[in-house]
Amino acid sequence: MLAAVTSDRLASLAQAIHAGALSPVDLVEGCLERIRQKDRVLRAFIRVDERTALAEAAAREREARQGAVRGPLHGIPVAVKDLFDQAGLPTTAGAAIRREHMAEETATAVRRLQDAGAIVIGKTNLHEFAFGVTSVNPHYGAVANPWDPECIAGGSSGGSAAAVAAGFCAAAMGTDTGGSIRIPAALCGIVGLKPTFGRVSRHGVVPLAWSFDTIGPMTRTVADAALMLSVLAGPDSRDPTTGRYGPFTDTAIDVPPAFRVGRLAGAFFDEALDGEVGAAVDRACDLLSRAGARVIPVHVDAIDAGQVAQTTILFAEAAAYHQRAYPGRLAEYGVDVRELLAAGATIPATAYVEAQQVQAAVIGQVRRLLDDVDVLLCPTVPIPAPRIAEVDPTRSEGWRRVRAPLSRFTRLFNLTGLPAVSIPVGRTRAGLPIGAQLAAAPGQEGRLLGISAALEAAVGWELAPLGAA
Amino acid sequence: MGRKVVENLLTAQGISVDEETLAAVERWYQAFAREWETVRHLDLTEVLPAPLWCWPP
C-alpha cells in the first residue's frame, strides 16, 4: 500500500494547535475577518456567532496549552448547514416559517464535532428546506459561487460549499438527499463526501426524505474528509438507520497499488454533457490509469427508471413530512419548493411502492458492477455552475431547466445508498470548477477515499491556503 | 391527469394552492407520467421492494 501525497490540512492545523504553534483564536479571527469582508457578496452564512466562536477558541487555546486536547479537530473552525440543530439557536432550514424556531438539543453530528474539539462559527445558507439544487434562497439570499459571484454555488448545501471554498472555515457540514453535498462541492471546487446511507447519525437534522437523507463533510481535501468522517461516523441509538457500520478509522488514506475503475457510460451519461466537463473527466480517467487504475466502461441498464424512482420516493416523503409539520402554510414557501411539495402530494401510493421495487432492481445491478470494479466514476454535475439570474424562481423559469441536469448524476447514489464523493478535477475556460464523482460499495469509504486521493494528487488541485488573505 | 383531478387530490389532503402553482403541478404530473413509462417497461414481477430485503444498504 502506498501512502498518498495529499495536503493534510485539517490534521496539520490540529497538530500545529496541539504543538502551540498555531492559536485557535488567530485562526477563528482570520475566518471571521474573511466573512466580514466577503460574505455580503457570497451570502454563505445565515448566522455567524462571533462572540461564542471566539470564546470557544480561547478555551481551546487554554486547553491546548495544558495538553488537554479534546480530539482530532481541537481548535478547528467549522461551519454547519442551517438544517442541523444546535441547542439554544434557531434552525431555520433556510425557510421563513422557521425563523423563530429554537433548537432544544444539539444534533448528534454537531455534538461529535464539538466533542472532537471543533469550533462551530456559524450556520450556513441553503436551498429552502434543502429541497433544491441551486441555493437561490428567497428568504436569506442566493448563495454566490466564490469562483464567480454571478453564478450559483449549487445546492442544497451551497452555503457550506461556498464557506469552505472562500476560506471562511476549515471544513463544513452538509446533507445529501439527491446530491446536495456533491453538487455544490463540484461547483465550488471542493471535496464533498456523501457517506454510505446509515453511516452518520441524522438525529437533530431537519429531514427532506427519510429514505435518502445522508450527513457528510465538505472539505478542502480528501484527507480532511476522511478525518471528519472518523469523527462523525458510528452508531447512534437515536437514529435507527445507523448501527450497520462501526466507526470509520481509515484516515491514513491508503491508495491500493492497482485498482479498477468503472466509468459509467451509455446515453444517460453521455447526453447533455457539457464538452469541457466531459473533457475534464476524460483527463481524470487518464490520470487514474497512470496512477495504476484499469478503467473500463460500465452500464446501469435501469438507470432511467431509477431516476424516476428516486424522484417518486423523494417527492412523496418530502410532501408527507411537510404536510404534517406545516399544514396549510404552503403559501409561505418560495415558489419552487411550494410547487415541488404540492407535486409530491399527487404521487399515488402504488407508485411509491413500485419505486421501491425499482430501487431494489437498481441496487442489484450496481452491486453486480461493484463485484468487478473498486469504484464507479462519472462527472458529478454535467454542466458548469449556471448564473443566479437565470435560475432565480422570482425572476425566471430557468430553475425548472437546471433542476434535473444538476442532480442527474448524483441521485443514483442516493437511490443505492452507496458512499460517493465529488473531487475537483479541473476548471472551465471561464474559470468555473468541474468535479468528478466516485462511488464504492456500501461501507467502503476507506477504499473510495484512497482512490480519490490518488486522483486528487494526480490532478494537483489546490485551494488557497486557509491562512491566506 | 387533468387540472380537476390534481385539484381534487390536493384538496382531499387539505392542501390549497394558487392557480399558478396548480397549473405547474399539472404540468409536473404530466411530465412525471411520461417518465414513468420507463418504469412500466421494467419487469418487476420477482422484485421485492428494497426496504424488505436490501435497504438500508
Q: What is the pLDDT of residues A320-360, one digit of tens each?
A: 999 999 999 999 999 999 999 999 999 999 999 999 999 99
Q: Is the dihedral of CA A378, A382, A385, A388 positive or negative?
A: negative
Q: Please choose, from the candidates A195, A119, A183, A138, the residue with its C-alpha nearest in 3D space to the C-alpha of residue A157.
A: A183
Catalytic residue among A135, A157, A160, A180: A180
Q: Does the pLDDT at position A98 exceed 80?
A: yes
pLDDT, position A243: 92
| Inter-chain CB proximity A357 and B44 less than 8 Å | yes
Chain A residues in contact with B42 (beta carbon < 8 A): 302, 305, 358, 361
Angle (CA) A255 A258 A260, round 5°: 100
Encode A200-215: b = buried (16+ Cβ within 10 Å), e = exposed.
bbbbbbbbbbebbbbb
B49's grid cell: 421492494
Residue A296 has φ and ψ, to the nearest 5°, of -130, 145
**A379: enclosing H helix or E strand:** strand A375-379
| Inter-chain CB proximity A244 and B56 less than 8 Å | yes
Q: Does the pLDDT at position A2 exceed 60?
A: no
- Tell me which DSSP letter residue A196 carries: -
Sequence length of chain B is 57
A236's grid cell: 447512534
pLDDT, position A148: 97
**Dihedral angle of Cα A332, A39, A214, A382, to the nearest 10 degrees:** 100
Per residue in A388-402, pLDDT tens?
A: 999 999 998 899 999
Per residue in A211-245, pLDDT tens?
A: 999 999 999 999 999 999 999 999 999 999 999 99
Q: Does the pLDDT at position A465 exceed 50?
A: yes
Q: Does A416 touch chain B (CB under 8 A)?
A: yes
pLDDT, position A256: 83
Q: Which residues of B touch A (CB under 8 A)?
A: 1, 6, 9-10, 13-18, 21-22, 24-25, 28-29, 32, 35-36, 38-39, 41-42, 44, 47-51, 53-57
Task: State mean pLDDT over A203-216.
Answer: 98
A330's grid cell: 404552503
Q: Which residues contact A394 (CB under 8 A, 6 or more apart)?
A: A138, A335
Residue A437 has φ and ψ, to the nearest 5°, of -110, 130
CA distance A411 to A133: 12
The ipTM estimated for the assembled molecules is 0.97
Separation in Å, CA of B56 to nearest CA in chain A: 7
Q: Does the pLDDT at position A252 exceed 90?
A: no
Angle (CA) A66 A68 A74, round 5°: 115
| Inter-chain CB proximity A345 and B13 less than 8 Å | yes
Q: Does the pLDDT at position A94 exceed 90?
A: yes
pLDDT, position A7: 41
Residue of B nearest to A417 (CA): B57
Catalytic residue among A7, A81, A211, A407: A81
Burial class (CB in 10 A: 0-12, 13-18, 19+), A16: middle
Per residue in B1-57, pLDDT tens?
A: 788 989 999 999 999 999 999 999 999 999 999 999 999 999 999 999 999 999 999
Provide the pLDDT confidence category of residue A4 given band limits of 50, 70 and 90: very low
Per residue in A410-434, pLDDT tens?
A: 999 999 999 999 999 999 999 999 9
Is the preceding omega at residue A424 within 30 degrees of 0, hence cis? no
Q: What is the DSSP string of A235-283?
A: --TT-TT-SSS-----TT-EEPSSEEEEEE-SHHHHTT--HHHHHHHHH
Separation in Å, CA of A432 to nearest CA in chain B: 31
Chain A residues in contact with B22 (beta carbon < 8 A): 342
Q: Does the pLDDT at position A6 exceed 50?
A: no
Provide the pLDDT confidence category of residue A468 given band limits of 50, 70 and 90: low
Rg for chain A, CA atoms, rounded: 20
Q: Does the pLDDT at position A372 exceed 50?
A: yes
Catalytic residue among A7, A23, A135, A156: A156
Q: Does the pLDDT at position A258 exceed 80?
A: yes
Q: What is the DSSP string of A331-362?
A: GGS-HHHHHHHHHHTT--HHHHHHHHHHHHHH
The answer to whether A237 is a known catalytic residue is no
Q: Does the pLDDT at position A8 exceed 80?
A: no
Task: State mean pLDDT over A361-375.
Answer: 97
| Inter-chain CB proximity B15 and A309 less than 8 Å | no
Chain A, window 13-42: residues with a beta carbon less than 8 angstroms from a chain B beta carbon? none
- Tell me which DSSP letter residue A200 carries: B
Provide the pLDDT confidence category of residue A3 given band limits of 50, 70 and 90: very low
Q: Please choose, from the candidates B27, B1, B8, B11, the residue with its C-alpha nearest in 3D space to the C-alpha of residue A330.
A: B11
The mean of the pLDDT values for chain A is 95
The answer to whether A81 is a known catalytic residue is yes
CA distance A232 to A247: 8
Per residue in A17-60, pLDDT tens?
A: 999 999 999 999 999 999 999 999 999 999 999 999 999 999 99
Residue A373 has φ and ψ, to the nearest 5°, of -130, 160
**A321: enclosing H helix or E strand:** helix A303-325
Task: State mean pLDDT over A273-298.
Answer: 96
User: CB pairs under 8 A, 24+ apart, for A323-332?
Assistant: A323/B13, A323/B14, A323/B15, A326/A97, A327/B14, A328/B14, A328/B16, A329/A97, A330/B15, A330/B16, A330/B17, A330/B21, A331/B17, A331/B18, A332/A96, A332/A97
